[in-house]
Amino acid sequence: MPPIKRGSRLHFGVIAALLTAFSVFYFLDTCLRASEKYFWFDELCTVYICRLPTMHAVWQAVLHGADYNPPLFYVLTRAANALFGEGLVATRLPSIVGVWVLCLCLFRFVYRRAGILPAWVALLFPMLTSAYFYAYEARPHGVILGFCGLALITWQMWDEEPRRLGWLMAFSAALGCAFFTHCYAILVAVPFILAEVVQVVRLRRVRWGFWVALIVPGIAALVSFVPLLRSYRAETAGTVFAEMFRAGFHQLPAFYDMLLAPGILVVLLALILFAARHQGFLREIKTRELMLLLGFIALPLFGVLLGKLVKGPFIPRYFMSAVAGFALLLGFGAAWGKARNIAVVLLALVMTCAVFENFAKLVWHREHGAGEALEEPSSKAPMNTTPGRPLAAYSILTSTEGSPFPIIVVQPMQFLYLVHYDPRLAQRLYYVSWSKDDLFYRLYRAIRESCPVHYNRELTFREFLPQTKRFYVTGDTGYLYELQTLLERGAKIQSLRFGGAQFLAEIQMGGKQ
């Protein structure tokens, strides 16, 4: 059979069929995942902030310490809720669309240089990494991936047609939208800067339009960055948070392990298949494109440097755009052998099968009424995914319904989750810390004072213990050490029960406090 001629109707028909099939599958897979993953602490912050009546109220809540994101993320989430109502899928729609846009943009970017099959490899790769988790997460990271993809293709088109100012303006707008979605998204500009430096050296002249397109949205974004940084420093001052997430180069290996672990077999297969063809790779890719993809791969490194500069945190999920660099690397790597090379066909087939296998596992879990084992890749926080049963993991706690005793939730992120999903129990739930310098004490105060959510005022043990002699303590078993601290203050454990990963202790206070 003769090869399909590039530019023919059949050629574009194949592309249209592939992208349509991918899009249908992607939304089916991602929306199904979104529908069975309940909102966790970070997402609930988004939910409550976006319930506020105006963007002015939203911004005031953010500056009060309820969250730390620039305004565009909330604008997009509020728009999704206004159109489709608040829900597990609707509230995550900006992220769902964002990662889909990234995949399509990766396809287009690689296709223009290498053809259909390498582009297909690049398109699928994000779904085989931890970055895919953020496609169904009501946080900014999936949204940023979409703007990153748009910046890639608009930069490519302007680079090929520098006289077309429309592409340059679109590139600037895409970067600006990323900047106004998350503070660390400013780093998305770094790979493009590196690529432009290569171009300046090659042409021996400066393309001033690029720098204007880059600097203007950056300066505009500083309007929101400065007050956010002040708020962050004020709220985290004196807490262990800043120390726990202090930027350091030792965090880089863990980041790449987290990002690539789900798709490591694909990466290893690609290395094996293409190991002997490095010369072909260098012929296929332009130097500035190589610098661009290496810049994306190195985003965590720039994140460490930025964190040290502004004394900000290094949290791995902030740098998910690095996945674009790896996707481009695999895509251009697949171009070494062209479409008829059996190695490229094998890689594309393995990746397609891996994506379908992940979907099949999800469907199996849903059919059997069991939640998929899932955790947030960056923090390793477990997600609750049991269909129709958001409190499935907390049966030991719900068994206390009818008891008059208050309940201390010692695991900080569980408190807001339980308040949200069990309103009947919420009036008995308390978040109690040992110090007012506890970060979550401050967060719960800011959320309660700024957002339309009602729960018992956060307390310290110094405030709680004198007025309450009998109560429950609950959390996962990693927080059992809290009981020892209470015992040292004269508490007696009346009973201690375990249910799954959770414990429930009935406490009677007496003696010293």
pLDDT score at 338: 47
Domain ranges of the chain: 24-150+248-366, 392-509
DSSP state of 246: B
Per DSSP, helices labelled H in 335-406 are 342-367, 395-398
Joined together, the tokens standing for residue 91 give 């509230």
DSSP-derived pairing of the beta strands 502-509 and 491-499? antiparallel
Distance (Å, rounded) from C-alpha 115 to C-alpha 39? 40
Chain centroid to Cα 90, Å, comes to 17
State residue 240 phi and psi, 5-degree precision. Answer: -85, -5
Q: How big is the chain, counted in residues?
A: 513
For 362, counting Cβ atoms within 10 Å of its Cβ (0-12 exposed, 13-18 middle, 19+ buried), the class is middle
Per-residue pLDDT tens digits for 378-429:
988 899 998 889 998 898 888 887 888 999 999 999 999 999 999 888 999 9
For 27, counting Cβ atoms within 10 Å of its Cβ (0-12 exposed, 13-18 middle, 19+ buried), the class is middle
pLDDT score at 37: 95
Kindly report the CA angle at 102 between 68 and 284, in degrees rounded to 5? 130
pLDDT score at 280: 52
Strand, helix or coil at 472?
Answer: strand
Q: Nearest-CA neighbor of 19 among 85, 116, 115? A: 116
Task: Confirm if 312 and 306 have CB atoms less than 8 A apart.
Answer: yes
Crossing angle of the two packed helices 412-421 and 41-50, in degrees rounded to 10: 50
Chain centroid to Cα 164, Å, comes to 34
Per DSSP, helices labelled H in 1-92 are 9-36, 41-50, 55-61, 71-84
Strand, helix or coil at 276?
Answer: coil
DSSP 295-351: HHHTHHHHHHHHHHHHT-B--GGGGTTHHHHHHHHHHHHHTTS-TT-HHHHHHHHHH
CB atoms under 10 Å from CB of 342, counted, come to: 9
Residue with tokens 């309820």: 66
DSSP-derived pairing of the beta strands 470-476 and 459-460? unpaired
Distance (Å, rounded) from C-alpha 397 to C-alpha 429? 11
Chain centroid to Cα 265, Å, comes to 22
135 Rama class: left (phi>0) / alpha (psi -120 to 50) / beta: alpha
Task: Return per-residue pLDDT of the chain as tens, 513 residues.
Answer: 345 556 567 778 889 999 999 999 999 999 999 999 999 999 999 999 999 999 999 999 999 999 999 999 999 999 999 999 999 999 999 999 999 999 999 999 999 888 888 899 999 999 999 999 999 999 999 999 999 999 999 999 998 887 788 999 999 999 999 999 999 999 999 999 999 999 888 888 888 999 999 999 999 999 889 999 889 888 888 888 878 888 999 999 999 999 999 888 888 877 776 665 555 555 557 788 889 999 999 999 999 999 999 888 999 999 999 999 999 998 888 875 544 577 788 888 989 999 999 999 999 988 888 888 899 999 888 999 988 899 988 988 888 878 889 999 999 999 999 999 998 889 999 999 998 989 999 999 999 999 999 999 999 999 999 888 899 999 998 899 989 989 988 899 999 999 888 999 999 987 544
491 bridge partner residues: 509
Q: Nearest-CA neighbor of 416 among 257, 289, 425, 473? A: 425
Half-sphere exposure at residue 147, Cβ-oriented, CA atoms within 13 angstroms: 27
- Cα–Cα distance list, 186 to 86, 207, 378, 431, 462 (Å): 29, 21, 20, 35, 43
- Cα–Cα distance list, 244 to 235, 313, 409, 442, 506 (Å): 15, 8, 22, 17, 31
Task: Confirm if 62 and 435 have CB atoms less than 8 A apart.
Answer: no
Residues 6+ apart with CB under 8 A from 206: 200
Dihedral Cα 224, 189, 117, 260, nearest 10 deg: -80
Joined together, the tokens standing for residue 223 give 């309007």
